[in-house]
Chains A and B, each alone.
Chain A
């Protein structure tokens, strides 16, 4: 399968500020995301997951290494066809739900009717039909996050980077949003890279799971889940799901302890 996103020898060291020493935050690491796959990246807190995403999206320059998307180097700007959903609320508070979702489409100069049609469909898919004219301040945190997801997906990106998009949601909504994300992924055929700290989320949603070490984050293991593309949260009751989650934790636990400064025997 063709590499859709490739990171080669990527590392990030944050420069010294004042008396503090330079902080090695990430890598060096190599990473290859295949076209059309659902890949999750899991790692302990502070391992550089979000830094990795910012570098992959062209929002942050790496200190070393090279990033390429669809064979072209990513440098200084986000390439067309790449969308990002952030962990924190990034909805525009001065725009209604439909205006938020249509922002990128209008910027691309699409005809008004085409924008309206695509926005309406995205609103319906996200279950926000009753709130099309509401402002973000009138929505719950989960609904605002759905607005941000819709705003990204409505532009039909070929690669979607999601940085813990469900972190602010309760457990039930997370499961439902995960199912919705799987449906959208199957429908759009896009490549998805999900950054998460939830082992269950990674095990449930992904084709492959990459595990990262404690800071500076490196890829320590890659696990293929073996799930068919037609999958959903029904897998929660599958014994293979429990086994997979256990395997992920067994591999990640030493790094999580290291990130917290605990000894290796502390478990």
Chain B
């Protein structure tokens, strides 16, 4: 609790320092809006209903990307766990996957999937699928043999064992991968909108930047950062509770 209060205090102090620096002219208003103006712009956006119209397609794409990454990653991870030979062949490639600049595929995805939400969902899910699959494998590697034998004694088949034993055991590890998938989904979708999309938060941020509309630009940035931080903190708290429950903390 004291640690969380300390963290909030540091963020608050940085915001106050930025406010003072802009208001006293140490930092140009043309470069950075003072945090109070950001909050005011965000409240105006929310009050006008524009914020929801801008955010709705983005959040829908992010939610779809997260769902695709988690479900796809779990299925992919279970397939690799079931086939050690396939896993040995593919795992080194997966571990170097993070080095691939995935955005270079965005134009290709638009050609294949069209100029709609699909390429955004695909690029938002691309990183997450791998992080969820790898974290699932990491969890399954620690599954004790007696637990698997117990599943056989209960007469559980391969899919029932996956559902009732393997996935619940690996849940804290999967959650760690899912946290990365959530962050990657926001980056992928908003980044994709920024480059080439007809609407969404990323597009609105790019437009505000081109129009020198600093209050709107920073209001949107504050909103995105607040949402991502809140989601991440929620997931982190859930992961910590799960790890404590399992004695993994």
A residues with a Cβ closer than 8 A to B are 54, 57, 59, 77-78, 83-84, 86-90, 92-95, 103-104, 107, 135-138
CB distance from B2 to the nearest CB of A (A): 25
On chain B, the number of residues with a Cβ less than 8 Å from chain A's Cβ atoms is: 19
With the chains together, A89 CA to B169 CA distance in Å?
14
The answer to whether B153 and A59 have CB atoms under 8 Å apart is yes
Question: Interface on chain B toward A: helix, strand, loop, or mixed SS?
Answer: helix
B81 touches A (CB below 8 Å): no
B153 contacts A93, C-beta separation under 8 Å: no
Q: Which residue of A lies closest to B153 (CB)?
A: A78
Provide the residues of chain B in CB contact with A87, threshold 8 Å: 146
Given A59-B152, A78-B153, A84-B153, A92:B147 Cβ within 8 A: yes
A89 pairs with B153, CB closer than 8 A: no
Q: Is the CB of A84 within 8 A of B247?
A: no
Q: Count contacts between A and B, CB distance < 8 Å.
A: 56
* Cβ-closest chain B residue relative to A104: B154
Name 26 A/B residue pairs within 8 A (Cβ), A-sorted.
A54-B149, A77-B152, A78-B155, A84-B153, A86-B146, A86-B149, A86-B150, A88-B144, A88-B145, A89-B144, A90-B146, A90-B150, A92-B147, A92-B165, A92-B169, A93-B245, A93-B247, A94-B168, A94-B169, A94-B171, A94-B246, A103-B154, A104-B154, A136-B247, A137-B246, A137-B247
Across the interface, do A107 and B154 meet the contact criterion of CB distance under 8 Å?
yes
In this complex, what residue of A is CB-closest to B145? Answer: A88
Tell me which of A57, A83, A94 has the highest count of chain B C-beta atoms within 10 A of its own C-beta. Answer: A94
> Within 8 Å CB of B145, what residues of A?
88
* Other-chain residue from B146, B152, B154, B246 in contact with A89 (beta carbon distance below 8 A): B146
Least CB separation from A93: chain B residue: B246
State whether B246 touches A83 (Cβ < 8 A): no
